[in-house]
């Protein structure tokens, strides 16, 4: 399967999401992460440590992949794509993952962009709430309600804000490999997203023929 991770605003955990979804998919088959973001965050992450899958930059010559046919591909799309770019991204993959934080600015950028995507026929996407503040903040629930009212499809689970994800970035590894207070919780959240993702695609394939 081909998963595209894109966002209309930076700093919402797009690269982190792409990396961990690739890590999850790697457990189900060989996976390739294509780093198409301009600042090469995913590539730098990979350079710092050891990731269980391959990471290549988008513009890199194809011969680096000679003989490598991955079962899954995750694309870390460029930030803030134009509607045309987004349409191309959506058509390039099986599912579009749109991470967003539960703050007003990110939600506003997301909602205004979603109106542009409404015109794309047969678009498969899911919004992922990320960096949600811990209890007792209700920001995540408020954001979820607001998005559901706008009839925007979103994953059933959020990615919490935790230092474990920062440590993973520091170490250049996945959060599942990090010793930090809530690392396991973060990894389980990404696994839940991965499971939901496969279910969505399985369902769409069944009905789509």
Which does residue 179 bind out of DNA, a second copy, none, counting CB within 5 to 8 angstroms by kind?
A: DNA
Residue 97's DSSP bridge partners are: 5, 126
* Pairs from 170-179 (Cβ < 8 Å, separation ≥ 24): 170/48, 171/48, 171/49, 172/45, 172/46, 172/47, 172/48, 172/49, 172/50, 172/51, 173/49, 173/50, 173/51, 174/19, 174/20, 174/23, 174/51, 174/52, 175/20, 176/23
Q: How far is the CB of 185 from DNA (least distance, A)?
A: 8
Stretch of residues binding DNA (CB under 7 A), selected from 7-15, 76-84, 176-184, 200-208: 176-184
How far CA 143 is from CA of 14, 97, 136, in Å, comes to 18, 17, 15
Of 109 and 163, which CB lies nearer to DNA in the complex structure? 163
Q: Where are the alpha helices (DSSP H) in the chain?
A: 14-26, 41-48, 83-92, 104-117, 139-149, 163-171, 183-208
Q: How far is the CB of 200 from a second copy (least distance, A)?
A: 22
Question: By CB under 7 A, is residue 38 in contact with DNA?
Answer: no
Strands across the sheet with 2-5, in order?
A: 54-57, 31-35, 72-76, 2-5, 95-100, 125-129
Q: How many residues bind DNA (CB under 7 A)?
A: 15
The answer to whether the CB of 143 falls within 8 A of the CB of 172 is no
Q: How far is the CB of 125 from a second copy (least distance, A)?
A: 18
Footprint of DNA on 118-137 (CB under 7 A):
133-137
Q: How far is the CB of 178 from a second copy (least distance, A)?
A: 13
Of 121 and 179, which CB lies nearer to DNA in the complex structure? 179
- Which of 103, 146, 177, 196 touches a second copy by CB under 8 A? 103
Q: How far is the CB of 205 from a second copy (least distance, A)?
A: 26
Question: By CB under 7 A, is residue 163 in contact with DNA?
Answer: yes
Question: By CB under 8 A, is residue 176 in contact with a second copy?
Answer: no
Footprint of a second copy on 31-60 (CB under 8 A):
38-39, 41, 44-45
- Residues 179 and 181: their CA atoms lie apart, in Å, by 7
- Binding residues vs DNA (CB under 7 A): 133-139, 161-164, 179-182
Q: Using CB under 8 A, list all residues that contact a second copy.
A: 8-12, 15, 38-39, 41, 44-45, 79-80, 101, 103-106, 108-109, 112, 137, 139, 163, 166, 169-170, 181, 184-185, 188
């Amino acid at each position: 399967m081909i998963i595209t991770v894109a966002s209309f605003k930076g700093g919402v955990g797009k690269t982190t999401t792409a990396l961990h979804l690739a890590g999850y998919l790697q457990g189900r088959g060989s996976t390739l992460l294509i780093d198409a973001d301009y600042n090469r965050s995913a590539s730098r992450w990979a350079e710092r440590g050891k990731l269980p899958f391959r990471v290549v930059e988008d513009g890199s010559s194809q011969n680096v992949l000679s003989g490598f046919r991955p079962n899954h591909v995750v694309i870390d799309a460029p930030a803030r794509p134009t509607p045309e770019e987004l349409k191309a991204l959506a058509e390039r993959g099986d599912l579009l993952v749109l991470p967003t934080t539960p703050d007003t600015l990110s939600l506003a950028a997301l909602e205004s962009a979603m109106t542009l995507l409404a015109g794309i026929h047969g678009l498969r996407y899911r919004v992922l709430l990320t960096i949600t503040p811990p209890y007792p903040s209700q920001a995540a629930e408020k954001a979820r309600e607001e998005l559901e009212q706008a009839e925007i499809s979103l994953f059933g689970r959020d990615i919490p804000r935790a230092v474990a994800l920062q440590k993973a970035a520091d170490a250049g590894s996945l959060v599942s490999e990090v010793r930090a207070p809530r690392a396991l919780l973060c990894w389980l959240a990404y696994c839940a997203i991965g499971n939901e993702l496969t279910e969505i695609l399985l369902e769409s394939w069944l009905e789509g023929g």
